[in-house]
Amino acid sequence: MIGRLAAHRTAAPALAGLAMLLAEPAMAAPKQVVADLSNSRVEITSSYHGTELLLFGAYEGVPGDDIILVVQGPATDIIQRRKAKRAGIWVNVETKIWQQAPSFYHVFATDELSSIADERALGNATVGALSGGLSFVSGRDESSNGQGGGTSLASGAAIAGNPEQRNNLRRNMEANGLWQVLPSSIVTQQDMLFRASLSLPSNIPTGDYNVRVLHFRDGVALSERATDMKVRKAGLSALIYRFAHDYSALYGIFAIVFAVASGWLAAAAFRRK
């Protein structure tokens, strides 16, 4: 009996220590971020000139934590052309096609990205339009007379662009308002709630969007939440868009007839005056 009591007394501290070790990872595991959009469907009509959405949510944070919000549009191929002077005329002499680049990429954050995490941590969390390792197919523009007029794309193996080419791509997309980084654009309250106003431009591409919310602490991404957003054409513009793509031949004939009829009506109206 005494031996059994001694055995129990010896095992008790070991079991307690094991329970603490097993409980520690569970206690350290971060809570999931909860987020939602005020409207997950954006309709592009003929009167659309941009809109604003509210993204809001909650997280379990401590002072010093940061939130990063990434709004990414559908992937597309982006063409870059280099011009050169030929016989006194600027013509396209080289074409590069960036493959599967985000057509829209806006980043919102509670602070500067460099203050939230280093480049490696941001890359691991795929924060950044170029974090996915974009590549391009190189080609060249050729013309029969040396002064433009034709394009020949020679497809080849995909290669990574150099820093200058990536900077040119980023600068062009930012100039069109399609890529942006907006630090200090997320408002937090009591290390629990956050909100951000998403301004969508008038030239936003249509398609399915991915909205990601990341919770950072001490330069490390603790948790992430993703939601979807759809941007679709609606109204008369959607009808014309679908007709032009589904019945391209008829649309071309209709456009020609409409242009001829409009010109004839305009000529007739001025003739009467």
Backbone angles phi, psi at 170, to 5 degrees: -65, -45
Residues 217 and 246 both lie in one domain: no
25 is a domain residue:
no
Residues 202 and 252 both lie in one domain: no
Crossing angle of the two packed helices 235-246 and 248-272, in degrees rounded to 10: 120
Structural domains in the chain (count): 2
Residues 207 and 169 both lie in one domain: yes
Strand-pairing partners, residue 157, are: none
Residues 167 and 188 both lie in one domain: yes
* Buried/exposed code over 212-225 (b: 16+ C-beta within 10 A; e: otherwise): bbbbbbeeebbbbb
What are the tens digits of pLDDT across the range 103-138?
999 999 999 999 999 999 999 999 998 887 777 776
Give 45's Cβ-side CA count (13 Å radius).
6
Residues 103 and 216 both lie in one domain: yes
Residues 163 and 256 both lie in one domain: no
What are the tens digits of pLDDT across the range 23-52?
444 444 446 889 999 999 998 887 888 899
pLDDT over threshold 70, residue 86: yes
15 is a domain residue:
no
Residues 238 and 109 both lie in one domain: no
The contacts of residue 251 (CB under 8 Å, 6+ apart) are: 243, 244
244 is a domain residue:
yes
Residues 123 and 46 both lie in one domain: yes
Residues 250 and 209 both lie in one domain: no
CA–CA dist 271, 273 (Å, integer): 5
11 is a domain residue:
no
Q: Which domain holds residue 170?
A: 34-79+97-129+159-232
What are the tens digits of pLDDT across the range 167-179?
888 999 999 999 9
Residues 49 and 68 both lie in one domain: yes
Residues 62 and 185 both lie in one domain: yes
CA–CA dist 200, 177 (Å, integer): 9
Query: SS3 breakdown of the chain: % helix, strand, coil, rounded to 5?
Result: 30, 40, 30
